[in-house]
Amino acid sequence: MWTARNRQGFLGVTCSFLDKNFIIHEVTLTVEYVRYPHTGENISDTLFVILDEWGLREKVHVIVTDNGANMKKAIKDMGSITQNIKWQSCTAHTLQLVVGKGLSLVKLLVLRAKRLIDFFLRPKQSERLEEIQKKSRLIVDVVRKLLLFFYYLYILIYNNYKQLLGCW
């Protein structure tokens, strides 16, 4: 379920299945408008229409969604009408929520690391750093390793976070 700024909701439905050779296939069936409010009842009504259009009502066994209360209720309501339909939470969505909460704990550390990197990437500071490097190799090695550590931590966190978001 995706909701636009004007509160128009759209429901994307994909179908995953195994063929007789046990090769997995995934097909996008439709993207349908869901009338407002986006209650479990409106969502389940829309899903039943889609399943009936494709002749899949009795062939669907699991519907995977995010953890939204309206989505869970929609699938639960559908399961009470058609006994074969069960709800399953999306693992990728749950993992994204966990990572997002985990990143909030290190947000300050990442911001400080970024400021430190930005500071030393300025031409004037780079020149000063070079002068210090000439004077003391030991201190420079420590500073360089710390800068690299924070820089790679920053890249690692943000690139992984972008990849997780990219799956939506």
- Asked whether residue 100 falls in the same domain as residue 63, the answer is no
The parent domain of residue 111 ranges over 95-166
- Asked whether residue 58 falls in the same domain as residue 104, the answer is no
Only one residue has tokens 């990143």, namely: 103
Number of folded domains that form the chain: 2
- Asked whether residue 51 falls in the same domain as residue 99, the answer is no
Token pair belonging to 125? 């500071």
What does the pLDDT look like over 145-165, one tens digit per residue?
888 888 888 777 777 766 655
What does the pLDDT look like over 64-95, one tens digit per residue?
999 899 999 999 999 888 888 999 888 888 88
**Average pLDDT of every residue of the chain:** 84
How confident is the model at residue 133, as a pLDDT? Answer: 73
- Asked whether residue 78 falls in the same domain as residue 25, the answer is yes
- Asked whether residue 105 falls in the same domain as residue 150, the answer is yes
Dihedral sign (CA 109, 162, 1, 19): negative
- Asked whether residue 12 falls in the same domain as residue 62, the answer is yes
Instruction: Classify each residue of 3-14 as buried b or exposed e, where b means 16 or more C-beta atoms within 10 Å of its C-beta.
Output: eeeeeebebebe
Q: State the Cα–Cα distance between residues 64 and 92, nearest whole angstrom.
A: 11
How confident is the model at residue 70, as a pLDDT? Answer: 93
Only one residue has tokens 């972008």, namely: 162
How confident is the model at residue 48, as a pLDDT? Answer: 94
- Asked whether residue 55 falls in the same domain as residue 80, the answer is yes
- Asked whether residue 144 falls in the same domain as residue 123, the answer is yes
How confident is the model at residue 165, as a pLDDT? Answer: 55
- Asked whether residue 131 falls in the same domain as residue 62, the answer is no
pLDDT at 98 over 70: yes
pLDDT confidence tier of residue 52, bands split at 50, 70 and 90: very high
Angle at 159 between CA 164 and CA 119, to 5 degrees: 145
